[in-house]
Amino acid sequence: GISIFISWTVSFYLNYKFTFNYKGSNVFSVYKKFILLYLLTGGLNFILVYLLTDYFGLYYLASIIIVAFFIVISTFYINKNIIFKID
């Protein structure tokens, strides 16, 4: 639990500072959205791997790779265009 929270916080800081070079003033609001996104994508990751493996009969490592690719692309897009977007 704590290690996940720490890794998300470090990830937020690195994205905030370097990846998206965010200049907005409401950092805590952005942080809450970032954590919510990672909670949602974590759950989505679990559900999609389960569905691809158990219902579609895909090998579990293939399911993990496919879902990870989808999650990485969608998370980057959401971070860039919604969470770290300066109004």
- What is the token pair recorded at 66? 């496919």
pTM of this structure: 0.86
Residue 19 pLDDT grade (very low, low, confident, very high; cuts 50, 70, 90) = very high
- Tell me the residue length of the chain: 87
Phi/psi for 33 (5° steps) reads -65, -40
9 vs 25 pLDDT, higher one: 9
Q: What is the pLDDT of residues 42-60, one digit of tens each?
A: 999 999 999 999 999 999 9
* Whether the predicted pLDDT of 87 surpasses 80: no
The reported pLDDT for the residue numbered 86 is 76
- What is the token pair recorded at 42? 């974590």
How far is 45 from 79, CA to CA, in rounded Å?
17
Domain spans in the chain, listed from the N-terminal domain onward: 2-83
The reported pLDDT for the residue numbered 25 is 80
